[in-house]
Amino acid sequence: MTVWEQYQQLEADIRGYNPSANLDRIHDAFAYANMAHSGQKRKSGEPYIIHPIAVARIVAGELRLDSESIEAALLHDVIEDTPATHEDIARLFSVKIADLVEGVSKLTRMRYAATMEEEQMENFRKMLFAMSKDIRVILIKIADRLHNMRTMDYQKPVKQRQKSFETMEIYAPIAHRLGMQKIKWELEDLSLKYLDPVGYQEIAYKLEEELPRYEVMMQQMQAKIYNHLCAMGISGEVFYRLKHPYSIYRKTIMRGRTLDEIYDMFAFRVVVDTVQHCYYVLGMIHEIFTPIQDRFKDYIGNPKPNGYQSLHTAIMGDRGFPIEVQIRTREMHEEAEYGIAAHWLYKQNGVGAGTEERYEWVRRLLENQEGADAEDYIHSLKVDLFNDKVFAFTPKGDVRGLPAEATPIDFAYAIHSDIGNQMTGAKVNGRLVPLNTTLKSGDVVQIITSASSRGPSRDWMRIAKSSDARSKIRQWLKKNRRDEIVAYGRSAFESELKQCGLRPRDVMVPEILSILLRNTPFQTLDDLYASIGCGGYTAQKAVMRIDSELKRAQKEREKEQEENKNAQESKNHQPDEPGAYIRGWSRRQSGDMEIKNSEVSSGKSEQGIIVEDLDNCLVKFSRCCTPVPGDEIIGFITRGHGVSVHRADCPNASEERRLKMPDRWIPVSWGKNVNESYPTTLEAVCKDRDNLARDITAALSNAKTSLRGVSIRATDDDFALCHLDLRIRDSKELQAIIKKLYQVSGVLNITRPAG
């Protein structure tokens, strides 16, 4: 199909749902994008303009958004990939469209690193900020990502896995939060195809093998349900579907179940005209089929946080298969298919059923990040944004949606900050319970308050699950118990220093103190102590920020004492071992350090590193990035400890750092005389499942890898973080190991830590 034919199909899609759309302006956007992208090609070899047209078709045909959204979709890459600017788009089209295009471009430029919490926090913050200003930014971006995932076959395997992991971690959950279930399922399935191709193919094969049998059974049940609808005089439609591959993957491969044990392997949807008819149909379904106990959910009376409404029940089918039946009205069905796009505020030239209150959760998530440690914020964000919810009631019958595993503390703060701050106890279903009790959907929660309450304690930070509650507790503690939490934070910080073999007074040295405050988001030491004291920041993370500097200063003191002692014996002392200093290095100034001839130690050639213009130079490999032969490397002259070798992509060897101290960075390269093996580390993000550790170690054993250490930590959102310490010969062997690990079911992303 030619470019013009595809554009004509876009116009046909638009006419199908919005006859009043301004097709002239949409054509102008297409013409401008076509001109701007002229000469550019996609990885498939097609003209680049094919991609913006495809994104616009998703925005129009699958999301049914307004004309401005379609124009922005056609133009979404011009600021990113062509000389066009925001001012150009604003002048030729409108400021609103230019803002949409720029918003999508900013999200495109975001970098994602699963092991760097601070960067991930900033990426989430940017995304939430763009969504809070105009929800259409993320809708267009999701359409952009969907088309990229549909055409991912043309990318390199590394790119496929990177984009698929990002999609699974961020874009699919956001689509779910926006109620866009159909797109969420497709994003998950496409991601799984590249993250675990073996598991994906196994499920696809099983479904294909059983499909003919399943089809006959479902068609018979469809006819049976429809005939009973007609007999009841209810107008409606009956659809059926098989569970999508990723959902099956989660319940079979990750949880060890068989296909026959999945209750919603098959699902029927009955779409009727009114809510009253929904409940009539529920009774009819339970009359003609055997209902499965405890599998009924009323999402009409208690909608999901993303607006989803439906009645869900599970029954035994005619052939003994468990089957889920969803019953909803036509309006509910439309929202279940299109989510927030189904009643977008600007839909149909500004006429729509949506209201800005529906996006209040985005603003609330932005507010709750203030003062939070990055790791804590990312965890809280995933709990609030992505996890399932529980619905608890006040004694008056008002419902509150809370994160899974929420406690009465979360419930109290969901009602009001003052209720939480004055809370002294709680009753659940009429019985007094501890504050750390896990709430379940349907619980009636009564919060007991007292004006003389001492307020929340630090322990509440550990008990609360929602970022909203944790943020309010943190604010109260900082305002009302600052002295107490500062003292606690100072004690925790000094205790952590002692555990690391460091002296608390060393932090008070102006040089070290400035480094600490520069590397943490605080203006003063008391601000840092306060954040540690109320649980917003950890003492471990604060000490980690200055650990290397403190140890360096300690070694410098020891070295200075040794040099003073040696100077008394001989002014021109030379070491007993040959080649223990770097020779021939001329005197020059480097920041606050003066490097003199014979001042920087050097050493053994068997390390396999060649230092430019220097012989017999002591070399050590940086532990922050663990370089191995084959990596691009650079050397840093340390104070009295030779040359430290970093990977060129290590944050500690960034261009900014090199420019600040140019005299201390020197070219190094790998020589022929290398060691048999070098230590290095890998970090893997996996979907948590049974026997994951066994399969990872088995893969390394089969690859005949020297495994020195392994640790796996499960997270609350069904992921597992795996840290591997290895010894390998070179980067080729390392890449082979990474390839082997990617073949382990559930391994999603592998990185080499640096910095």
Give the catalytic positions in this structure.
Answer: 80-81
**d(Cα 286, Cα 315) in Å, to the nearest integer?**
8
- Contacts of residue 491, Cβ cutoff 8 Å, sequence gap at least 6: none
Confirm if 670 and 629 have CB atoms less than 8 A apart. yes
Q: Is 688 helix (H, G, I), strand (E, B) or coil?
A: coil
Q: What is the DSSP string of 242-295?
A: EPPHHHHHHHTTTT---GGG-TTSEEEEEEES-HHHHHHHHHHHHHHSEEPTT-
Sign of CA dihedral 367, 368, 373, 376: negative
The phi, psi pair for 296, rounded to 5°, reads -100, 135
C-alpha 526/C-alpha 314 separation (Å) is: 57
Contacts of 559 (CB under 8 A, 6+ apart): 639, 640
Q: Is 480 left (phi over 0), alpha (psi -120 to 50) or beta?
A: alpha
Secondary structure of 538-601 as H, E, C letters: CHHHHHHHHHHHHHHHHHHHHHHHHHHHHHHHCCCCCCCCCCCECCCCCCEEECCEEECCCCCE
Distance from C-alpha of 714 to C-alpha of 687, rounded to nearest angstrom: 9
Cα 189 versus chain centre, distance:
18
Question: Cα(338)–Cα(58) distance, rounded to whole angstroms?
Answer: 11
Using CB atoms within 10 A of its CB, is residue 362 exposed (0-12), middle (13-18) or buried (19+)?
buried
CA quadruple 78, 133, 366, 401: dihedral positive or negative?
A: negative
Alpha helices in 109-196 (DSSP H): 117-133, 136-150, 157-166, 172-177, 181-195
3-state secondary structure 338-370: HHHHHHCCCHHHHCCCCCHHHHHHHHHHHHCCC
Q: Cα–Cα distances in Å, from 660 out to 7, 592, 653, 654?
A: 52, 11, 11, 10
| Phi-psi group of 581: left, alpha or beta (phi > 0 → left; psi -120 to 50 → alpha; rest → beta) | beta
How far apart CA 133 and CA 102 sit, in angstroms, is 12
Instruction: Name the 3-class secondary structure at 650.
Output: coil
If one counts every other C-beta atom within 10 angstroms of the C-beta of residue 574, the result is: 10
User: Residue 306 and residue 320: Cα distance in Å, rounded?
Assistant: 33
What residues pair up with 668 in beta bridges, in sequence order? Answer: 611
Cα dihedral sign, 419-425-426-430: negative
Most distant CA atoms of the chain, gap in Å: 109
Distance separating alpha carbons of residues 125 and 102, to the nearest angstrom: 16
